[in-house]
Structure 1
Amino acid sequence: MARILLAPGFWLGAWAWDRVAAELRSRGDEVEALTLPGQDPEDPQRLTATLETQARAIVEHASASADAVVLVVHSGAAASGYMATDLAPERFSRVIYADTAPMPDGFVLNPALGEAVEFPLADTWEEVEAAGNSLAGLDEAMLARFRERAVPVPAGVAGQPVRLSDSPARLKIPTTVICCSFPSSLIAQFRDAEEVPALVQELRLLDAEYVDLPTGHWPMWSKPLELAELIHEAAGR
């Protein structure tokens, strides 16, 4: 049995992991899905959330267990998740990136945010896909639930840079990358290129394993059973 923390990406709360969490529990894992600071619509202080407050919240949940935990991050949660592993690397036995990657120091998730105080879900699904987020595998009911429950991301999360220390400890944490909208072969090409894109710079430093799960950017909805199985298998290694 593994203790697993599930952190959802932009606009999402713990609810996004419902089916995956249930599947993992059925396999004997202890699972906690997180609503990161800034993503609770009932929190009157949510717009004060930053990447650091999210990272510290992840560390706090990880520290509730006597043993190190497996952290699963999706999409934008990779920024605060990776910062959490830098703050307290001893609290994590493995990090699993679901259709995302660890982000380097100074990386800003939405550098075009400007003076806006939050970053909402785009008005149309065409805009979402144009931004590089595949909707493959999502039906109308899933999209409707997504739209209904989406919470804008505070500027302190979406528009501020990732901050990491010089400590190499986070690089020693076993890492799994579950490749969904981009296959592992393409990520390998980016990783080995002469000019490496920012989103794969840290992967060059990690001894990571890569697993393919062909689907869209939200595998917790499009392929929840398959994603749960991959997480369970990786958590057990």
Structure 2
Amino acid sequence: MDILLIAGLWLDGSAWDDVASALRSLGHRPVPLTLPGQGDGPSSATLDDQVAAVLAAVDAASGKPMVVGHSAAATLAWLAADARPDQVAKVVLIGGFPVGDGRPYADFFPLRDGVMPFPGWDPFAGPDSADLDEEARHAFTAAVIPVPGDVATGIVRLTDERRFTVPVVLVCPEFTPAQAQAWINAGDVAELAQVTHLEFIDIDSGHWPMHTKPAELARLLAAAA
């Protein structure tokens, strides 16, 4: 199966190198995406540009792909299900939740000179980054790519309720399946509350399992596929 891999903020397709290698050995065809403005083209890219790139990858896939979105890119994966509900076999969300219609994509941190730079490790202290040693943190920060402001502040538009019929797997890294279910039950994740087929998978890692647990993450993705 084709497995489209969309990394979260500040990352390009190379974040998936170890996961992709493991997936190939398990018989799948991983397609790591480098998004406009995050490793591909100028920093003037918009959210619409990134959505278009994801949809182009869905359209180019062999058969129905599984679309994987990490962190903020959970929303990009969900937008693919909304735009192509008959073409996406399954959506996998890793450590992130899709935002609802009419909300900003990822306006989590201040913009500077038209981009949202990586804010450093303080906002990610605790479970998010506990499994990243100093060497891993240095490698991460050396590779980060500021997110275009028009991506971070772009408004999400969801239009097709058939997205709720696309099966969803939520991979829970720095939080547990029980916590995720509680957030959904409380109404904090309205989109997932309406999904017909929702599965939870636990992985004992921080927020970036593609860096710290790539082989295990690949096995989980292969099983989901």
Pairwise same-fold verdict (TM > 0.5):
yes
Q: 1:188 aligns with which of 178, 181, 187?
A: 181
Matched-pair identity in %: 35
Equivalent positions of 1:10-49 (< 5 A) are: 10-40=9-39, 43=41, 46-49=42-45
CA contact 2:111–2:117 (8 Å) conserved in 1 = no
Whether 2:168 is the aligned partner of 1:179: answer no
Following the alignment from structure 2 to structure 1, what is the Cα–Cα distance between the partners of residues 183 and 135?
Answer: 35
> Counterpart amino acid of 2:100?
P
Counterpart-to-counterpart distance in 2, 1:115 and 1:107: 21
Instruction: Note the alpha carbon deviations across 1:109-131, whole angstroms, 9 max, x for none.
Output: 21664685110001x3223438x
* Correspondent of 1:224 among 211, 214, 217: 214
1:162 corresponds to which of 156, 162, 170: 156
TM-score (structure 1 length as normaliser): 0.88
For 1:79 and 1:154, the matched residues in 2 are separated by 16
- The Cα of 1:171 is off from its aligned counterpart by 1.1
Which of residues 118, 142, 156 is equivalent to 2:115? 118
Q: Quick one: which of 139, 146, 150 aligns to 2:144?
A: 150
- Residue type of the partner of 1:171? F
Deviation at 1:55, TM superposition (A): 1.2
Gaps of 5+ in 1: none
Separation in structure 2 between the aligned mates of residue 75 and residue 31 of structure 1, nearest angstrom: 18
Q: Shift of the alpha carbon at 1:47? A: 2.3
In structure 2, C-alpha distance between the alignment counterparts of 1:116 and 1:129, rounded to whole Å:
26
Amino acid of the structure 1 residue aligned with 2:149: A
Aligned-residue offset at 1:85? 1.8
The match for 1:50 among 39, 46, 70 is 46
Q: CA offsets per residue over residues 42-92 of structure 1, 9 Å max, x none?
A: 62xx22222221111111011112411011110111222222221222221
2:86 aligned residue: 90
For the structure 1 residues 111 and 8, does the alpha-carbon distance in structure 2 shift closer, same or farther, using more than 3 Å as the test?
Answer: closer
Out of 190, 195, 200, the position equivalent to 1:201 is: 190
Structure 2: gaps (5+ residues): none
- Does structure 1 retain, via aligned residues, the 8 Å contact 2:5–2:30? yes
Number of corresponding residues: 223
